[in-house]
């Protein structure tokens, strides 16, 4: 039986998924990533599927692998839930301003850790698929120039996440449980 949360994964998705941890295969990472990308790209006003949609690479890994990446790229040798590497550096913007849609064929790369994602989902009492989708939306927004370096930018990013997740019938991840 197909998980209804995965039923509207976008055919012709611009997402290339690399599975390093087989648990992601069972969790349906490919469909989750396609669904998150389609919703996020639509929100950004970009083509979400097919020819012309910006490419995204998602690697599903474990805590050991993401800790290595976190150490190499951020100087923090511990696991985290998700990391992202945009293909292009976003232009400067005023605090809280919505970034201009990126003009590139490749948005960038994402790594997501099964261990941390599953642990956080369990602690928050939510389905793994919902939490993973939220983290993927969050990471794709980073690829598109969003950040949370200050309160105004964090508000802008969280509002975008809420709007995107609402289109996917996923509850507000910032709502107190």
Binding positions for Zn(2+): 138, 142, 148
Q: Is 162 left (phi over 0), alpha (psi -120 to 50) or beta?
A: alpha
Is residue 137 within 8 Å of residue 128, measured between CB atoms? no
Which residues partner with 98 through β-bridges?
Answer: none
Around Cβ 120, how many Cβ atoms within 10 Å? 17
Reading the block at residue 5, the tokens are 């949360």
What does the alpha-carbon distance between residue 13 and residue 40 come to, in Å, rounded to a whole number? 12
Binding site members? 138, 142, 148
15-19 β-sheet, strand order: 15-19, 55-61, 106-113, 82-86
Is residue 114 within 8 Å of residue 23, measured between CB atoms? yes
The H-or-E segment that residue 114 falls in is helix 114-124
């Amino acid at each position: 039986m197909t998980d209804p949360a995965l039923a509207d994964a976008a055919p012709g998705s611009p997402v290339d998924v690399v599975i390093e941890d087989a648990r992601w295969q069972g969790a349906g990472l490919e469909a989750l990533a396609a669904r998150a990308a389609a919703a996020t790209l639509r929100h950004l006003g970009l083509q979400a599927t097919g020819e012309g949609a910006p490419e995204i690479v998602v690697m599903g890994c474990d805590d050991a692998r993401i800790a290595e990446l976190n150490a190499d790229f951020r100087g923090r040798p511990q696991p985290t839930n998700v990391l992202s590497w945009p293909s292009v550096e976003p232009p400067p913007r005023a605090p809280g301003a919505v970034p201009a849609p990126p003009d590139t064929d490749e948005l960038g790369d994402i790594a997501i850790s099964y261990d941390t994602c599953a642990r956080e989902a369990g602690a928050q009492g939510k389905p793994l698929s919902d939490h993973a989708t939220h983290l993927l939306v969050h990471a794709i927004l980073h690829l598109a120039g969003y950040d949370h370096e200050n309160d105004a930018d964090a508000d802008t990013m969280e509002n975008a996440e809420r709007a995107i997740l609402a289109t996917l019938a996923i509850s507000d991840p910032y709502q107190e449980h």
